[in-house]
């Protein structure tokens, strides 16, 4: 096992422990708000385009973001169930976001020119998630950059920033990063 996989396992187990009270509270809030299921499951493409089932706290009902969902999305807490996907080996904590086959086709990312982003495990967080890909082209460039330059140090930096986003909100942390020229 390499150091990055070891870090994934260690941090995912710890994150599930730390986030379990938040996940329980979110599950109760989701259930109370509309009585629907708590978990959203969807097939995504992983490393080497192998399909797997992703888990998220449900944030939508009938095509609309719920009140609870708005908060979960703003903080990224809807993503915390994905630590189970990391433990299973389908994902890493850091990497390009896993996409559906439909998204890959819609974006035109099916050909060999896009293989780079699929050479690494998809992640819960990554360059595009932290720095907010402003377009498909920008996201593609950030994903390709990560796939080429992934290091343990970069992963630790992105994990720290992402944790800050969970605590303070994505928009606030992105503004803070921009003010510092990061």
Q: What pLDDT sits at residue 133? A: 67
Range of 63's domain?
A: 3-172
Concatenated DSSP letters of 124-179:
EE-HHHHHT-SSHHHHHHHHHHHHHH--HHHHHHHHHHHHHHHHH-HHHHHHHHHH
Residue 160 counted as domain residue = yes
Residue 158 counted as domain residue = yes
Mean pLDDT, range 132-151, rounded to an integer: 87
Residue 179 counted as domain residue = no
Residue 135 counted as domain residue = yes
Using an 8 Å Cβ cutoff, are 58 and 39 in contact? yes
Alpha-carbon separation of residue 42 from 1, 79, 98, 133, 161 (angstroms): 28, 13, 10, 22, 26
Tell me: the pLDDT tens digits for 79-136?
999 999 999 999 999 999 999 999 999 999 998 988 888 999 999 999 998 887 678 8
Using an 8 Å Cβ cutoff, are 95 and 59 in contact? no
Residue 180 counted as domain residue = no
Q: What pLDDT sits at residue 116? A: 87
Count Cα neighbours of 58 within 13 Å in the Cβ-side half-sphere: 21
């Amino acid at each position: 096992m390499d150091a990055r996989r070891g870090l994934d396992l260690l941090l995912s187990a710890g994150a599930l422990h730390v986030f379990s009270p938040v996940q329980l509270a979110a599950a109760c809030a989701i259930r109370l708000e509309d009585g629907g299921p708590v978990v959203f499951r969807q097939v995504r493409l992983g490393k080497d385009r192998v399909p797997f089932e992703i888990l998220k706290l449900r944030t939508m009902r009938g095509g609309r973001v719920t009140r609870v969902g708005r908060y979960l999305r703003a903080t990224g807490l809807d993503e915390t169930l994905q630590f189970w996907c990391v433990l299973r080996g389908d994902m890493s904590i850091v990497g390009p976001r896993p996409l559906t086959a439909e998204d890959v086709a819609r974006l035109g990312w099916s050909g060999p020119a896009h293989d780079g982003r699929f050479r690494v495990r998809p992640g819960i967080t990554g360059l595009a998630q932290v720095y907010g890909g402003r377009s498909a082209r920008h996201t593609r460039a950030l994903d390709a950059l990560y796939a080429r330059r992934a290091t343990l140090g970069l992963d630790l930096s992105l994990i720290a920033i992402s944790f800050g986003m969970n605590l303070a909100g994505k928009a606030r942390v992105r503004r803070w990063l921009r003010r510092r020229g990061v």
